Structure 1
């Protein structure tokens, strides 16, 4: 039951996430192409320069939590049950998306986003394994 629901929901969810990454949340086209490749630097600077904890939680944890569903992609594509294959595939995809943000100037290529998003996928993969072990009868 869960797998069938997941298969139906993941496509519109992915499209919604792409919308957020390029057009949503007050996005605008930057005048210059921007890139931040020092790991964790932009996240630490963001936390230091942000007054409200709500904004920190939304941006930092959002970059993790929003990608947890992609840890379940093995339910659709069996090869992606293997963590190494999943992470290689995901990192390749998210780097392309970050590059598109850079080239269209509709975002900033940030290595922190790649790291946080990938961590979300990893958490999703762990959660998927736990659900499969605990509730194997219910997920079919």
Structure 2
């Protein structure tokens, strides 16, 4: 039952997430292309900035939590039940999305986003494994 619901929801969820990444949450087009490639630099700078704690938690945890559902892709594509193919496929896709944000100037290409999003997928894969163990017992 869960797998059927997942199959129905993942495509609209992905489209919603892409909307958020390009147009939602007060997005605007930057005047120039921006990139941050030093790992954890932008996240640490963001945390140390004048931002409210709730905004920090929302952004940092959001970058993880919003990508947990992609750890369940093995329910649709069996090859993605394994860590390496899942992470290789996801990282390839998220780099393309980050590059599109860069080239359209509708966001910043940030290595931190790739790391946090990928961690979310990893957590999703682990949660998926726990759910499958529970279902099979």
TM-score by length of 1: 0.96
CA apart distance, 1:50: 3.5
CA distance in 1: counterparts of 2:51 and 2:116, whole angstroms: 21
CA apart distance, 1:134: 1.1
Match of 2:120 in 1: 120
CA distance in 1: counterparts of 2:57 and 2:97, whole angstroms: 23
Match of 1:27 in 2: 27
Match of 1:74 in 2: 74
Question: For this pair of structures, how many residues does the alignment match?
Answer: 137
Deviations 1:108-133 (A, max 9, x none): 00000000000000000000000000
Name structure 1 gaps, 5 residues minimum.
Answer: none
TM-score by length of 2: 0.98
SS in 2 for 1:135: helix
CA apart distance, 1:21: 0.1
The yes-or-no answer on 1:40 pairing with 2:36 is: no
CA apart distance, 1:135: 1.8
4+ residue stretches of structure 1 with deviation over 3 A?
A: none
Deviations 1:39-75 (A, max 9, x none): 0000000000033111001100000000000000000
Q: What is the 5 A alignment of 1:1-140?
A: 1-136=1-136
Name structure 2 gaps, 5 residues minimum.
Answer: none
My pick for the range that moved more, 127-136 or 72-81, is: 127-136
